């Protein structure tokens, strides 16, 4: 582009200069797709953790990601939440928000919540305080120096405590909870932040059958209002919640469809059962 | 698990401790001031001016320890360079006191401090302008260390430097400043520093009343700093800070810009250290580059560790106790002090990982639970007898 052309482009009357554009844009899901992952590649020291991965998540959907260890599930979540930079590719949240340009904290504020594989809660603080920290509210410094819980926030937190079954433990330190309870607390923190998109890494690891069932119920009830992406190894669990399953293999998508489709898919059978069959 | 339970109790005790700390501070200040000013020196309750100054000095150290506890105990940022902010605050006050000397110096130059005349300088360096105004000097004494902390913290925390690397950088910072201030060309009196002060705001620094007033102001500012820190740590900001200490990546994924939080806490802490330094200088009557020496900063960390970090009052107690011990010990065996300090640190790390505050709280918790079971047992006995 020549100098003249770029100057004209700059002064066009039908556009807004990027510097003046409102950063706080709502997620645009007019095409019913909330997350676009296209051509994503990430390599660590030559090892391709993600290899030209394409993935589209519809708004309000509950999607399960499965795949063997090293298939790139956690790396994918790391890229979406801004923890890991990618080599090539694009990640869009709705039509307009380029997630690769935002930091972890900004992405969380945009409405993408994440639960880690290993439950990480703030151990030196009580269950109640953990939820309070996760609330959807300003994350600014001045605000938080004077912040107090509003009645509606308290109601929300009480409701969450009820949902995650930790009412009696609300004054207990999070570090004193059992593994399964920490998982629940982390899910509760996700709920408190009221995200548009939830990325959940192995939610039922270390849970009893009963707890697993309740988790499945909770996740299915969330879908619709919110979009949920679950990474899980427990096939029984996946079968009980998933409508659409995406199989990752060596950093790219191997198959996508309903659980039955996927289980009958020849590629999947070959990859997973190939050596045994 | 029992440790966590204890920590929870610590939180409860922490709130009670606020009243205790402020009350004790007020009582001791009032007692010492009254006994110094109103009683004759022959009285057995008389508190000498030397003691007053010593207490004032201890309180300055307590404020410095408090500032380290705020960043180390609550945010996990082990700063081994807080002595730098303390000394910069001290230099701010020192420059004002130098300008107050006026023409009463050895060379009688109304404009230039003695050391500049000695170096054959004929004009005041630009950064000495305005330092003859008390308000401006105090502003600079807090703003300059605050700005340094801001720039340093901004660079370090944004690049996610943590742990031992950060500690080493803070250590390097204070060491570099020490070397710089040792140079005569810097215009801060070289290795002699600033001394021979005469008066503060027109009050004679040697007078008993001035000494008592300085001590009282120090106590008041320590109490204010304690209350402010308590307020900050009890707010949601404080909970974010503790969350950063325990799981920084997680805090980021919840949506907090952890680097901003850390920078502002670091600046707050540096400002407290600077205030401590500014109060320290008129009481001891000298400020020299030795205050920047890395050992000083490490000593502060020992005070906090001994008192118990993450409790605020523990830092104050630690600073007072260790400095009292230092005063006593150096009188008996001056060369042995550093060995004693080192041994104390090792001993505390091994046997009192939570410091004295943790020990006291453990005993309190045990006392409370035993008295509780005791009462329930007596209830049972009563029930059985009736």
Query: Could you state, in order of their start, the residue ranges of all structural domains in chain A?
Result: 27-120+184-273
What is the residue-averaged pLDDT of chain B? 86
Closest CA to A139 of A97, A107, A114, A171: A107
Count of C-beta atoms within a 10 Å radius of residue B51? 14
Closest CA to A183 of A269, A119, A272, A104: A119
Backbone angles phi, psi at B354, to 5 degrees: -95, 10
Do residues A237 and A212 make contact, with C-beta atoms less than 8 angstroms apart?
yes
The pLDDT of residue B261: 93
Mean pLDDT score, B24-45:
84
Q: Decide if B246 and A123 are in contact by the 8 Å CB cutoff.
A: yes
CA atoms within 13 A on the CB side of A271: 18
Q: Which residue has the higher pLDDT, B169 or B21?
A: B169
Number of independent structural domains in chain B: 1
Tokens of B51: 């003691």
Listing DSSP states for A126-183 in one string gives: BHHHHHHHHSSS---HHHHHH----HHHHHHHHHHHHHHT-GGGTTSBGGGS-HHHHH
In chain A, positions 53-112, which contact chain B (CB-CB < 8 Å)? 81, 83, 103-105, 108-109
Place of tokens 């900004």: A106
| Tens-place pLDDT, residues B262-279 | 999 999 999 999 999 999
The pLDDT of residue B345: 87
Alpha-carbon distance B35 to A35, whole Å? 74
Instruction: Name the band, by pLDDT with cuts 50, 70 and 90, for residue A47.
Output: confident
The pLDDT of residue B373: 55
Pairing status of strand A62-66 against strand A227-231: parallel
Do residues A135 and B269 make contact, with C-beta atoms less than 8 angstroms apart?
no
Residue spans of alpha helices (H) in chain A: 3-10, 73-80, 104-110, 127-134, 141-146, 151-164, 179-192, 209-222, 235-241, 259-264, 266-273
Do residues B269 and B276 make contact, with C-beta atoms less than 8 angstroms apart?
no
Mean pLDDT score, A178-183:
85
Closest CA to B228 of B26, B30, B55, B70: B70
| Tens-place pLDDT, residues A59-100 | 888 898 888 877 888 889 999 998 888 888 999 998 888 888
Core vs surface per residue B304-329: b (16+ CB within 10 A) or e = bbbbbbbbbbbbbbbbbbbbeebeeb
What is the residue-averaged pLDDT of chain A? 84
Do residues B52 and B32 make contact, with C-beta atoms less than 8 angstroms apart?
yes
Which of A125, A146, A173 lies at the smallest CB-CB distance from B243? A125
Q: Is the pLDDT of residue B377 over 50?
A: no
The pLDDT of residue B378: 45
Instruction: Name the band, by pLDDT with cuts 50, 70 and 90, for residue B241.
Output: very high
Alpha-carbon distance B94 to B271, whole Å? 17
Mean pLDDT score, B221-230:
93
Distances from the Cα of B334 to the Cαs of B38, B144, B318, in angstroms? Answer: 35, 35, 21
Q: Which residue has the higher pLDDT, B224 or A32?
A: B224
The pLDDT of residue B150: 96
**Best residue in B253, B258, B264, B311 for a mutation probing chain A (most A CBs within 10 Å):** B253
The pLDDT of residue B334: 85
Listing DSSP states for B326-350 in one string gives: HHHHHHH-GGGHHHHHHHHHHHHHH
Q: Kindly state whether residue B383 falls inside one of the protein's structural domains.
A: no
The pLDDT of residue A22: 59
**Best residue in A77, A78, A135, A139 for a mutation probing chain B (most B CBs within 10 Å):** A139
Alpha-carbon distance B22 to B282, whole Å? 24
Mean pLDDT score, A204-214:
82
The pLDDT of residue A21: 64
| Tens-place pLDDT, residues A150-178 | 888 888 899 889 888 888 888 889 888 88
Which of B235, B254, B264 lies at the smallest CB-CB distance from A108? B254
- Interface size between A and B, measured as CB pairs under 8 A: 90
Which of B8, B239, B257 lies at the smallest CB-CB distance from A133? B239
Mean pLDDT score, B198-215:
86
Burial zone of B344 (CB within 10 Å; 0-12 exposed, 13-18 middle, 19+ buried):
middle
Instruction: State ipTM.
Output: 0.82
CA atoms within 13 A on the CB side of B368: 11
| Tens-place pLDDT, residues B277-287 | 999 999 998 99
Helix axes B355-385, B294-307, angle to 10 degrees: 0
Which of A109, A129, A141 lies at the smallest CB-CB distance from B261? A141
Query: Chain B: nearest CA to A53, how far in angstroms?
Result: 23
| Tens-place pLDDT, residues B345-356 | 888 888 888 888
Burial zone of B118 (CB within 10 Å; 0-12 exposed, 13-18 middle, 19+ buried):
middle
Q: Decide if A145 and B249 are in contact by the 8 Å CB cutoff.
A: no
CATH classification number, A27-120+184-273, choose in 3.10.20.30, 3.40.50.720, 3.40.50.300, 3.30.465.10: 3.40.50.300
Q: Which residue has the higher pLDDT, A188 or A69?
A: A188
Strand residues in B130-288 grouped as ranges (E) = 194-195, 199-200, 203-204, 286-287
Q: Decide if A175 and B235 are in contact by the 8 Å CB cutoff.
A: no
The pLDDT of residue B220: 92
The pLDDT of residue B15: 61
Strand residues in A25-94 grouped as ranges (E) = 33-44, 47-58, 62-66, 88-93
The pLDDT of residue B323: 92
Q: Kindly state whether residue B381 falls inside one of the protein's structural domains.
A: no
The pLDDT of residue B381: 43
Q: Which domain holds residue B344?
A: 2-370
| Tens-place pLDDT, residues B308-334 | 888 889 999 999 999 998 888 888 888
Q: Decide if B237 and A144 are in contact by the 8 Å CB cutoff.
A: yes
The pLDDT of residue A276: 46
Instruction: Name the band, by pLDDT with cuts 50, 70 and 90, for residue B5.
Output: very low
Tokens of B2: 């029992």
Chain centroid to CA B334: 24
Instruction: Name the band, by pLDDT with cuts 50, 70 and 90, for residue A143.
Output: confident
Q: Is the pLDDT of residue B123 over 70?
A: yes
Mean pLDDT score, B191-202:
86
């Amino acid at each position: 582009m020549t100098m003249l052309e770029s100057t004209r482009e700059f002064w066009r009357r039908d556009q807004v200069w990027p510097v003046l554009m409102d950063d706080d844009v709502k997620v645009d899901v007019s095409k019913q797709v909330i997350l676009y992952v296209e051509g994503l590649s990430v390599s660590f020291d030559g090892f391709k953790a993600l290899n030209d991965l394409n993935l589209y998540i519809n708004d309000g959907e509950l999607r399960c990601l499965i795949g063997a260890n090293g298939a790139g599930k956690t790396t994918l979540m790391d890229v979406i939440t801004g923890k890991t930079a990618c080599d090539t590719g694009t990640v869009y949240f709705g039509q307009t928000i380029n997630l690769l340009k935002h930091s972890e904290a900004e992405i969380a504020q945009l409405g993408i919540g994440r639960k880690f594989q290993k439950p990480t809660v703030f151990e030196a603080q009580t269950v109640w305080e953990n939820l309070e920290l996760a609330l959807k509210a300003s994350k600014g410094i001045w605000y938080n120096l004077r912040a107090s819980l509003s009645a509606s926030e308290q109601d929300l937190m009480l409701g969450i405590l009820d949902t995650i079954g930790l009412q009696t433990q609300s004054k207990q330190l999070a570090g004193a909870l059992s593994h399964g309870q920490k998982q629940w607390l982390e899910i509760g923190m996700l709920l408190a932040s009221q995200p548009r998109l939830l990325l959940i890494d192995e939610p039922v690891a270390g849970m009893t059958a009963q707890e697993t069932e309740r988790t499945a119920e909770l996740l299915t009830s969330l879908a619709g209002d919110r979009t949920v992406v679950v990474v899980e190894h427990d096939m029984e669990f996946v079968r009980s919640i998933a409508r659409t399953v995406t199989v990752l293999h060596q950093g790219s998508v191997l198959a996508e469809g309903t659980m039955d489709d996927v289980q009958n898919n020849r590629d999947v059978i070959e990859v997973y059962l190939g050596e045994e069959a | 698990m029992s440790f966590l339970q204890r920590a929870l109790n610590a939180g409860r005790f922490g709130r009670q401790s606020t009243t205790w700390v402020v009350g004790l501070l007020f009582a001791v200040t009032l007692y010492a001031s009254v006994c110094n000013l109103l009683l004759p020196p022959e009285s057995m309750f008389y508190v000498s001016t030397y003691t007053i100054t010593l207490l004032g000095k201890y309180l300055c150290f307590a404020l410095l320890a408090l500032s380290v506890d705020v960043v180390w105990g609550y945010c996990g940022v082990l700063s081994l360079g807080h002595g730098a902010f303390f000394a910069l605050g001290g230099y701010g006050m020192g420059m004002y006191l130098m300008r107050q000397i006026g023409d009463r110096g050895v060379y009688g130059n109304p404009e230039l401090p003695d050391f500049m005349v000695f170096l054959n300088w004929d004009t005041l360096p630009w950064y000495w302008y305005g330092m003859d105004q008390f308000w401006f000097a105090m502003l600079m004494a807090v703003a300059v260390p605050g700005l340094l902390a801001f720039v340093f913290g901004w660079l370090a925390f944004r690049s996610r430097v943590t742990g031992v690397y950060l500690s080493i950088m803070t250590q390097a910072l204070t060491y570099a400043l020490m070397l710089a201030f040792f140079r005569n060309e810097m215009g801060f009196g070289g290795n002699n520093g600033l001394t021979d002060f005469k008066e503060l705001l027109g009050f004679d620094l040697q007078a008993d009343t001035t000494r008592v007033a300085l001590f009282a102001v120090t106590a008041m500012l320590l109490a204010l700093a304690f209350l402010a820190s308590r307020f900050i740590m009890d707010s949601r900001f404080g909970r974010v800070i503790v969350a950063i200490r325990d799981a920084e990546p997680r805090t980021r994924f919840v949506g907090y810009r952890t680097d901003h939080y850390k920078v502002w806490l670091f600046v707050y802490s540096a400002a407290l250290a600077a205030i401590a330094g500014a109060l320290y200088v008129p009481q001891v009557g000298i400020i020299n580059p030795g205050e920047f020496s890395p050992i000083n900063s490490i000593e502060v960390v020992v005070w906090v560790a001994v008192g118990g970090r993450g409790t605020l009052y523990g830092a104050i107690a630690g600073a007072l106790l260790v400095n009292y011990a230092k005063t006593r010990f150096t009188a008996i065996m001056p060369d042995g002090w550093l060995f004693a300090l080192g041994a104390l640190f090792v001993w505390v790390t091994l046997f009192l990982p939570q410091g004295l505050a943790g020990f006291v709280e453990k005993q309190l918790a045990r006392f409370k639970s035993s008295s509780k079971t005791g009462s329930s047992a007596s209830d049972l006995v009563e029930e059985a007898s009736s």
